[in-house]
Amino acid sequence: MRNNGAIVSAPAQWVEDEYLQRRDAVLHWPRLLPRRVFVGLCICIATLLCCYVLTVAIRLTSTRQSLFGMVHLFDLDAEANIPTYFSVVQLNIAAGLLWAIGAHARRRADRYTRHWLALAAIFLFLGLDELAQIHELIEDPVRAAFHLSGALRNAWVLPYAGLMLVLGWAYVPFLAHLPPRTRALTMVSALIYVGGAAGLEMYGGYLTTQLGGQAAAEHNVAYLTEVFFEEGMEMFGIALFIYTLLDHIRHTMGRVLVHVGSARRPTPAQELNGTQALQVLDRRRRSLTAP
C-alpha cells in the first residue's frame, strides 16, 4: 500500500462512507430557514424606517439639514444610500432564488421553466433599475409628450404599468399551477410591492404638484409620510416574496446545493486523496480491533 498522493486500495464502502459524512457536514450548514430570513429582513426594514423618521425629525426641526451626511444616508426619498442598496440586495436575492427554482424546473422538464427564469431576469432588471434609476430616464420624455401632471407627474408609472398588465395576463396560467400557499403569498407580496411602487408613487406625484414642486414637498409632513409608506411597502413586499420563494423551495425541492469548482462533480474516490484514504483505513481498523 503506497501513500504517495494517489488513491490507495481501501475498501470502496469505507471511502464512500467518509465522503458522505464530509459532504453532509458541509451541506447541512448553514440552514436558511424561511421564517428566520423573513424576520431578519423585517428587522432591517424596521431599522431603516426608524432611521428615516429620525432624519425627517432633524430636517423639520433643525437648521442642520445634513448632519454630516447622515440625513442623506438614510433618506428613503434619496438615491445611492443605504435604503437603496438594501433594496437592490433584496431584489437580487429574489432573482437568485427564482433562478434556482427555474434551474430545478428545467431538470424536471417543467412546462413553466421559462416563466421562472423570466421572472429571475425581471427581478435582476428591477435591481439594476433601483440602483441606476433607469425609470427616471424615461420620465421626462413621457411627461412632456403627454403633458402629464398631478397623479401622473411621475410619468414612468405609465409604461411600467402597461408592462405589468401584459406580464400579469401572461402569467395567469403560471399562477394557477402554483401550490395554493405559494400562489396566495405571491399575490399578497405583489399587491404590497406594486401598491407602494405605483399606487403611492402616483399619490406622491399628486402631492408634489399640489405643493408646487419637489423642493417644497421635501419639507411637507404629508409628502414625507407618503414616502415612508411607499418605500416601506416596497421593501416589505420584496421581503415577503423572498420568504415565499424560500418556503416554496422547502416544500417542493427540499434544499438547494451550491457547488463551487469544476462543472463535473468529483467522485468519492477523487474527493479523498491517498493520505485521507489511509486515515480512513486506520480509523476503521482500530474500531474493528478495539475490545
**What digits encode the pLDDT tens for the residues 208-253?**
888 887 777 778 889 999 999 999 999 999 999 999 999 999 988 7
224 CB-near residues (< 8 Å, 6+ apart)? 56, 77, 218
CB atoms within 10 A of CB 141: 11
For residues 153 and 205, the answer to whether their CB atoms sit within 8 Å is yes
The mean pLDDT of 2-30, rounded to a whole number, is 50
pLDDT value, residue 253: 79
More confident residue, 94 or 10: 94
What pLDDT shows up at residue 270? Answer: 47
What pLDDT, on the 0 to 100 scale, is given for residue 87?
Answer: 96
| Pair 233, 193: CB distance under 8 Å | yes
Torsion angle of C-alpha atoms 44, 50, 51, 56, degrees rounded to 10: 150
Question: How far out from the chain centre does Cα 77 lie?
Answer: 21
Q: Distance between CA atoms of 6 and 291, rounded to whole angstroms? A: 32
What's the pLDDT score for residue 6? 46
The region of weakest confidence among 163-172, 195-204, 253-262 is 253-262
**Mean pLDDT taken over the chain:** 82
6 and 263 Cβ atoms separated by less than 8 Å: no
Q: Please give the pLDDT value at position 137.
A: 86
State the pTM of this model.
0.79
HSE (side-chain half, CA atoms, 13 Å) at 60: 15
Query: Residue 155 in contact with residue 143, Cβ under 8 Å?
Result: yes
Q: How far is CA 92 from CA 87, 192, 253, in A?
A: 9, 18, 20
Q: CA 269 to CA 37: how far, in whole Å?
A: 37
pLDDT of residue 140: 84
- Helices and strands per DSSP (H, E), number in the chain: 14, 0
User: What pLDDT is recorded for position 274?
Assistant: 52
pLDDT band at 1 (very low <50, low <70, confident <90, very high): very low
**pLDDT value at residue 29:** 47
Query: What is the Cα–Cα distance from 33 to 84, expressed in whole angstroms?
Result: 25
- Say whether pLDDT at 5 is over 50: no
Query: Which segment of 33-37, 152-156, 223-227, 286-290 scores lowest on mean pLDDT?
Result: 286-290
| pLDDT tens per residue, range 88-128 | 999 999 999 999 999 999 988 999 999 999 999 999 999 99
Cα separation, 115 vs 121, whole angstroms:
10
In the chain, % of residues over pLDDT 90? 49
Q: What are phi and psi of 97, to 5 degrees?
A: -65, -40
Torsion angles phi and psi, residue 6, rounded to 5 = -90, 165
Do 55 and 75 form a contact (C-beta atoms < 8 A)?
yes
Residue 269 has pLDDT above 90, yes or no: no
